[in-house]
Amino acid sequence: MTGKVYLVGSGPGGTGLLTQRAAEIIDAADVIFYDQLPGEEILSALPEKAEKIDCGKFGGRHTREQHEIESLMVDRAQKDLVVVRLKGGDPFLFGRGGEECETLRAAGIAVEMVPGVSSALAVPASVGIPVTHRKYASQVTILTGHEDPAKPEPALDWKLLAQSRGTIVILMGVSNLENIARALVANGKKPDTPVAIIERGLRKDRRVTTGPLSTIGDLARQAGVKPPAVIVIGDVVRLYDPAQPDLIPRGDA
């Protein structure tokens, strides 16, 4: 068997931040499993010769469940095909790349991981927010917003997070933002801690909503904030200046 699966990170959006290795692998692919996160600029440039399998999620509806995606990847690799699992950002940062790697290895499939520039770093940077800064934060915590702080045994230590002096970056957290903000304040985070919500990453229609932690949920609801978005909590948000030009050029609209 010569089939192989590549877990490819496409970065935060646009071909400009797609790595050279990722571009090479995509061009050589026989099959590409994709979702909407890489963005239209990258998706529209996928090679015509490749079979394309949609694995996207829309409004909570999964086009394909995770077990089905993994089963299909194993099937195509066992047919001696070059398979690409194309993801936004980096495959091993909340991209389920670790799970897929386990499944593929268990099936005896050769796997290679191609790292991508994470939106957790690049999206805040694009609007002038560094996630670390000697004056404001010497550590950064990246977490998934899918975690509900109100459930009986949350996987995250909200008290520890609230007491941290570093930056908190939340991915996939728009729908749960009010609960997250409430939990942080209840566990000791200052209510006036600045927050930035950066919608649509490096696209031309990007939008930034800012406000204090205590009211950011209300502000987001009033503004009609929608995913995908990166949420930054911490004093580094004070460096955001909407009058300044982008630090990273934006790509597709």
Nearest-5° angle of CA 183, CA 215, CA 142? 50
3-state helix, strand, coil in the chain (%, to 5): 30, 25, 45
User: What is the pLDDT, as a whole number, of residue 70?
Assistant: 96
Question: What's the CA gap between 83 and 233, in Å, rounded?
Answer: 37
Marked catalytic residue, from 4, 57, 159, 252: 57
Question: In angstroms, what CA-CA distances link 197 with 49, 63, 170?
Answer: 38, 27, 9
User: What is the pLDDT, as a whole number, of residue 61?
Assistant: 66
User: What is the pLDDT, as a whole number, of residue 150?
Assistant: 72
Question: What's the CA gap between 36 and 166, in Å, rounded?
Answer: 31
* CB hemisphere CA count around 90 (13 angstroms): 12
Residue 105: phi and psi, rounded to 5, are -65, -40
**Residue 35 a catalytic site member:** yes
User: What is the pLDDT, as a whole number, of residue 93?
Assistant: 95
User: What is the pLDDT, as a whole number, of residue 252?
Assistant: 60
Q: Are 33 and 84 in contact (CB under 8 A)?
A: yes
State the burial class of residue 116 (Cβ atoms within 10 Å of its Cβ: 0-12, 13-18, 19+): buried
User: What is the pLDDT, as a whole number, of residue 137?
Assistant: 96
Name residues whose C-beta falls within 8 Å of residue 52's C-beta, 6 or more positions apart in sequence: 31, 32, 34, 46
Q: Are 120 and 220 in contact (CB under 8 A)?
A: no
State the burial class of residue 76 (Cβ atoms within 10 Å of its Cβ: 0-12, 13-18, 19+): buried
Total length of the chain: 253
Question: What's the CA gap between 2 and 38, in Å, rounded?
Answer: 27
Marked catalytic residue, from 90, 113, 172, 189: 172
Question: What's the CA gap between 29 and 31, in Å, rounded?
Answer: 5
User: By three-state DSSP, how is residue 8 classified?
Assistant: strand
Question: What's the CA gap between 127 and 177, in Å, rounded?
Answer: 20
| Sequential pLDDT tens for the chain (253 residues) | 569 999 999 999 889 999 999 999 999 999 999 998 888 899 999 999 999 999 987 555 668 899 999 999 999 999 999 999 999 999 999 999 999 999 999 999 999 999 999 999 999 999 999 999 999 999 999 999 987 677 777 788 999 999 999 999 999 999 999 999 999 999 999 999 999 999 988 888 899 999 999 999 999 999 999 998 999 999 999 999 999 999 998 876 4
Residue 59: phi and psi, rounded to 5, are 60, 35
User: What is the pLDDT, as a whole number, of residue 204?
Assistant: 86
DSSP bridge pairs for 233: 168, 195
